[in-house]
Amino acid sequence: MALEDAKTQMDHAFTREDLKGPSFENVFAGAPSFLRRRYTKDLSAADIAVTGLPFDQAVTNRPGTRLGPRAIREASLLQPCDAPYGWGYDVLSEFAIADYGDMAFDYAMPSEVPERIEQHVGAILDSGTACIALGGDHSVTLGCMRAHAARHGPLSIIQFDAHTDTWADDDMKRVDHGTFMYKAAKEGTVVPERSVQIGIRTDNPDTMGFNILDAQTVHAADPGAIADKVRDIVGDNPVYLTFDIDALDPAFAPGTGTPVWGGLSSAQAAAMLRQLAGINLVGGDVVEVSPPFDHAGITAVAGAHVATELLCLWGWTRR
């Protein structure tokens, strides 16, 4: 069936009628929507939407993550023919998934972007559709978290990252990918004591009360044991999971703005994400994929797999 479909399917990003099911069109051709889902602004039939937030004007080092959503979508074309491995169910067939496209914004007004993101993601949530976002630098997560907290209450955060992003910054007009978690904690969007940061390997003396499982802790433990600790911390609170691709070691994700050695492997990240099944995930994102610094697309491939795992995590408790 798949071989026959490959002969006739093309541009499922525009032509597919059903938001559910695999896609068998040639991976090297056609329009690169995320996992060959249909591009649409009509979410009336969608369970969950993927949207791009192509903003990178808050970086402290190498730019380029504005190109991340496009690269992640292209890398995702390797996956839509089969059920995601290791989950025991097919999120592509059991849930209606839409590609909502990218957010529009004025690139010359960066101070307006967090509010614009909150409105953009909030509109998706108000339609009754869940949301997974593709960044963009990590500052985009603040607007996403605010939108989710406005509808679910203060959030537990699971943050995969090399950095805590809790540098003190009380100027709410500043947009910075290293201070957004400080602001989220200060304003009550997140609950630090019921949140956890995984893979940290840079120094920041003010952790704002977040639980930290640093890279050394992860390397010394079984991924399942780490996942158990994370579940104990977040409990049944509504969870937002943000995955900064620099949580991975540069060997697995060179295409990012602030790479730090000694990070997680792709295998460790995959195992932990799958063993988090059962958390009350309400939304998430993957950020900081910077194609200009990528090699052979491996960072974008990692980002695409993370985004797919987030879809699977979200769907696990809703099957």
CB 51 within 8 A of CB 124: yes
Which tops the pLDDT comparison, 198 or 206?
198
Look at the chain and report how many structural domains it folds into: 1
pLDDT band at 204 (very low <50, low <70, confident <90, very high): confident
CATH label of the domain that carries residue 79: 3.40.800.10
CB 132 within 8 A of CB 314: yes
The predicted-structure confidence for 2-56, as pLDDT tens digits, reads as follows 666 778 888 999 999 899 999 999 889 989 999 999 999 999 999 999 999 999 9
Q: SS3 for 135?
A: strand
Q: Rounded to 5 degrees, what angle do the CA atoms 9, 13, 14 make? A: 85
The predicted-structure confidence for 176-198, as pLDDT tens digits, reads as follows 898 899 999 999 999 999 999 99
Contacts of 296 (CB under 8 A, 6+ apart): none
Alpha helices in 41-96, H assignment, sequence order: 68-76, 91-94
Calpha distance 200→80 (Å, rounded): 32
Q: What is the mean pLDDT of the chain?
A: 95
Question: The pTM is what?
Answer: 0.96
Question: Residue 137: pLDDT above 90?
Answer: yes
Q: Rounded to 5 degrees, what angle do the CA atoms 257, 34, 258 make? A: 5
Domain that holds residue 49: 2-316
DSSP β-ladder status, 239-244 and 97-102: unpaired
pLDDT at 8: 85
